[in-house]
Structure 1
Amino acid sequence: MSRSRSPVVPGWFDPDAAEFHLLGTRCRACGAVFFPREEVFCRNPGCAGGELVEVPLSRRGTVWSYTDARYRPPAPYVSDPDTEWRPYTLVAVELAAERMVVLGQAAPGVSVGDLEVGAEVELVPGVLNEDAGHTWTTWHWKPIADGRGEAP
């Protein structure tokens, strides 16, 4: 049986693109770039523009902040209480070209001990959840290997 695959949030990234990247929008009037995407109006309070175009965002950036999520969040967070909680690492990354900060999970196997503020990371495709019939895809941040081929 084949599993169906879909992005956890449609329109935030294209899981089938040749080069994986997040999708934002840019205002044609002022040049401001947004993530998540905007479809209706420019979020820049000083701009009355409304013509927005889809743009791929930088695949690399620097760690702005990070933390780990060791405990299951309380309600209203939705999760199956019968499944084991798996801690994960959250990373806030300042995108290289756009200079905006985007939050995401660290790639599997990356812990807070592998990160430091200012370290370079890259965007990689990931899986948020899967069951017998479906896989929900997402993005992860992964430290970029140094010149010796080792992750920091």
Structure 2
Amino acid sequence: MVAGWFAGDGEDFRLLGTRCSACGTVFFPREDTWCRNPGCAGAGLEEVALSRRGRIWSYTDSRYRPPSPYVTDPELPWEPYALIAVELESERIVVLGQASPGITVADLAVGMEVEVVPGVLHEDAETTWTTWRWRPTGVAG
């Protein structure tokens, strides 16, 4: 996906954001130029690893094949996937992402604790595009 948005693997996998040194506002996706807080003129931003866990703020499922640039094989039937908006534990910001494979909207509830895990967005013979996914805590995989 986008370089610099996440790092690590397994239990060390984290989304990466930035924090304004003037007002303490945290951003994801990261900001590298200036503070996006309209009440702050700060420009000192530091990279921060975001919380691995949070609680479901909202969720839905994707029942249609998204348009390009999303990559799908038109020869295969479309498989819906769950989208989850998660309020991060410490930062209290909401981050949207897909659910881990096998997790459907029937498995989710607002307020449920989830954790960020690495996932595969797409792969071909030469490249694997990685991303983040949300998985309910206590679920293996």
TM-score by length of 1: 0.84
**1:10 corresponds to 2:3:** yes
Which of 77, 90, 95 is equivalent to 2:88? 95
Q: What is the aligned partner in structure 2 of residue 19 from structure 1? A: 12
CA distance, structure 1, for counterparts of residue 87 and residue 106 of structure 2: 19
Q: How many residues align?
A: 139
Q: What is the aligned partner in structure 2 of residue 144 from structure 1? A: 137
Instruction: Map residues 3-152 of structure 1 onto 2, 5 A cutoff.
Output: 8-15=1-8, 19-73=12-66, 75=67, 78-79=70-71, 80-145=73-138
RMSD of equivalent CA atoms:
1.9
TM-score by length of 2: 0.91
Gaps of 5+ in 2: none
Distance 1:100 1:133, change over 3 A: same
* Identical columns (%): 65
CA distance, structure 2, for counterparts of residue 76 and residue 138 of structure 1: 17
Structure number with bigger Rg: 1
CA distance, structure 1, for counterparts of residue 68 and residue 134 of structure 2: 26
Gaps of 5+ in 1: 1-7
| SS class of match (2:6) | coil
CA contact (8 A) 1:15 1:137 kept: no
What's the offset of the Cα at 1:86?
A: 2.0
- What whole-Å deviation, never above 9, does each CA across 1:103-132 have from its counterpart, x for those lacking one? 000000100011000000001111011111
| SS class of match (1:22) | strand
| SS class of match (2:106) | helix
